[in-house]
Structure 1
Amino acid sequence: MRVDVDGPTAFGAAGDTVFDHLDALATALRGGDGPGISAAIDVLETDRETMTTARADAGTRTARLEQAATAAGDAELTLTTRLAEIENTDLPKAMVDLKMQEVAYQSALAATARVMQPSLLDFLR
């Protein structure tokens, strides 16, 4: 996204720029031309409004880019936090849980073996 403003948009087209209008005002001031001074001031007021509009436009685009960059940074931080929560495991707790499951499995196997003791007659069938 472009955030700058080209010269003709901000200061006017060639031959009709703010700088030309300032030169006209300086000439009118040196010559003591009252109506010329008033006309030059009116034109400069229009130029000021044009420059203010161009500056506001560039500022709006810059603010949008800064807001997008902030949102992207926040999203990156959120994703990094979620990934850390998923990937980081409490190893001692995981080892204790695994050992408890192993003991429960061994106990279930031992209980099943005692209940299902085949007799010699069951074996011969």
Structure 2
Amino acid sequence: MRVTQSMISNNMLTNLSNSYSKLDQYNSQLASGKKINKPSDDPVIAMKGIYYRSDVTQVEQYKRNLDEATNWVESSDDALNLVTNSLQRIRELTVQGASDTNSAESRKALAEEVRQLIDHIGTIGNTMVGDKYIFNGVDTTTKPVNYTTSIDPLNPGQIDTSTIVKANFYTNNSNYNVEVSKGVNVSTNVDPSTIFDPNTFKQLADLHNALVTDNTSAINTSLGQVDTIIQNVLTARTKIGATQNRVDMISDRLGNQEVVANRIMSNNEDANVEEVITKLKTQESVQNAALGVGARIIQPTLLDFLR
């Protein structure tokens, strides 16, 4: 086959163009730190990248959900800790009130502190995390306890227990679940029905009234009821502790998953800088050699002889 000058020139230009394309590819990889800069560079890497990036995004979302769960659980425990402290103080006052050494006037003084503590517990029942009530199940926008003690006009000094029964207790005991992994939900709320309910507040109000009326028999009855209420709160806090332990374990697992997902994505997308530099230098040498050879094999023109 006859090889013409035109064929030699065209082949040389084609090879130089391919060489320039490789130089551009390696320069782009070095500048961006990525193996590809557009899907057409390598469709397989691009498709895998979409899948791996989705994994990373999903894990990051689960971690954000877990942060919400942690905040919810810790806030619940802190709130119930305050309830426990208030109830323990009420118990101390009840024991004092049951003592025969107290006068009717001293019991009335104890009753006033009990009333303040009851109102405080009602306030704790409306604890919020952000704009959500944490003691009302899935109905997080409704105030669960709309309650304050009111004095019975027919019995001055006593709490009107009928107002407690008629007060608004919108306690919803449904589980407030947070998805922390695919198909895995954690219930972060406490069942408020055994803590912030009308019966609990009525029993505490009965204690207050027993102190006001100097009824030691009723005070002793209330002592057992207070112990039951305290036990209910402690049981709820035990469940919260178990939930917190589970959340901590899930957090560790998600942390490991995030590391693995990022490593897999990096292996798929990130360029090996040392390897790219080596290939770039090699290609530069090839390019320079191709230019030198091309300059020598192109036949001289008439103008070259006339110089």
* TM-score (normalised: structure 2): 0.27
SS in 1 for 2:189: coil
Q: Which residue of the other structure, out of 182, 194, 197, is the alignment partner of 1:9?
A: 194
Residues 94 and 87 of structure 1: CA distance in aligned 2, closer, same or farther (over 3 Å): farther
Deviations 1:18-39 (A, max 9, x none): 2111111111101111121122
**1:24 matched residue in structure 2:** 206
Question: Among residues 52, 73, 94, which one is paired with 2:234 in the alignment?
Answer: 52
Q: Which amino acid aligns with 1:30?
A: V
Secondary structure of 2:190's counterpart equals coil
Residues 13-61 of structure 1 deviation map (CA, whole Å, 9 limit, x = unaligned): x5xx321111111111011111211220121011101111112213322
70-79 or 28-37: bigger deviation: 70-79
Deviations 1:57-81 (A, max 9, x none): 1332244234313421332123313
Q: Which is higher, the Rg of structure 1 or of structure 2?
A: 1
Q: Does 1:64 align with 2:280?
A: no
- CA distance in 2 between counterparts of 1:60 and 1:77 reads 26
CA drift of 1:83 comes to 3.7
Partners of 2:282 and 2:217 lie apart in 1 by 93
Cα separation, partners in 2 of 1:78 and 1:60, compared to 1, 3 Å: same
Q: 1 or 2, which has the higher strand percentage?
A: 2
The code of the aligned residue for 1:4 comes to: N
Quote the offset at 1:86 in angstroms: 5.6
Structure 1: distance between partners of 2:194 and 2:246: 21
**Contact 1:11-1:47 at 8 Å conserved across structures:** no
Q: Specify every segment of 5 or more residues in structure 1 that has no aligned partner in the other structure, as ranges.
A: 99-125
TM-score if structure 1 supplies the norm length?
0.60
Distance 1:5 1:86, change over 3 A: same
The aligned residue for residue 17 of structure 2 is none
| Correspondence for 2:262 | 80
Amino acid at match of 1:45: D
Residues matched between the structures, number: 97
Cα distance in structure 1, aligned partners of 2:228 and 2:282: 77
Q: Distance in 2 between matches of 1:42 and 1:2?
A: 31
**CA RMSD in angstroms, aligned pairs only:** 2.9
* Distance in 2, Cα, partners of 1:82 & 1:59: 35
* Percent of residue pairs identical: 20
CA–CA distance in 2 between the matches of 1:59 and 1:8?
A: 19
Corresponding residue to 1:92 among 273, 277, 290: 277
Q: Return 52-61 or 63-72, whichever deviates more.
A: 63-72
